[in-house]
Amino acid sequence: MPNVFYSEKDFFKYNLLTYNEIRNSPRVSENYVFEYSPNDETSPQRSTIYFCDLKDISSSYNELVHYINENGFFISRNNSLLYKDSSKDDVYFILDKVIFNKKECLELIFSK
């Protein structure tokens, strides 16, 4: 199954493919889209939200870091984009600034 992009209005995709950790994240922009990435031999299953058209990307980034920390995930010593729960090695968030559809966006990934 390939990666799937969808919106919150896509009821079945949103409810079947979106992890709660992504579903419950603060909406730091009105322009956001979801992505589901199935697991394969090289990468785990991932649920992603892209936030674009941000008024203040730094403030939005900090709000998402606060959300990640509130959920018990903290920055990894080896990777500044990776937020891990010390009790679960294979469960993590990734927060990054990316170019998505030719726009600067924030990408929040949850993987388990």
- For 22, the 3-state DSSP assignment is helix
Is the pTM of the predicted complex or chain greater than 0.85? yes
Task: Residue 33: name the closest of 13, 21, 12, 50 by CA.
Answer: 50
Element spanning 68, H or E: helix 57-70
Give, in order, the Cα–Cα distances in Å from 32 to each of 6, 41, 48, 51.
10, 29, 10, 5
Which amino acid appears at position 29 of this protein? S
Tens-binned pLDDT, residue by residue, of the chain (112 aa)? 689 999 999 999 999 999 999 999 999 999 999 999 988 766 788 999 999 999 999 999 999 999 999 999 999 877 888 999 878 878 999 999 999 989 999 999 999 8
Task: Give domain limits for the chain.
Answer: 4-111
Which CATH fold would you assign to the domain 4-111? Phosphorylase Kinase; domain 1 (3.30.200)
Task: Residue 109: name the closest of 42, 27, 18, 40 by CA.
Answer: 18
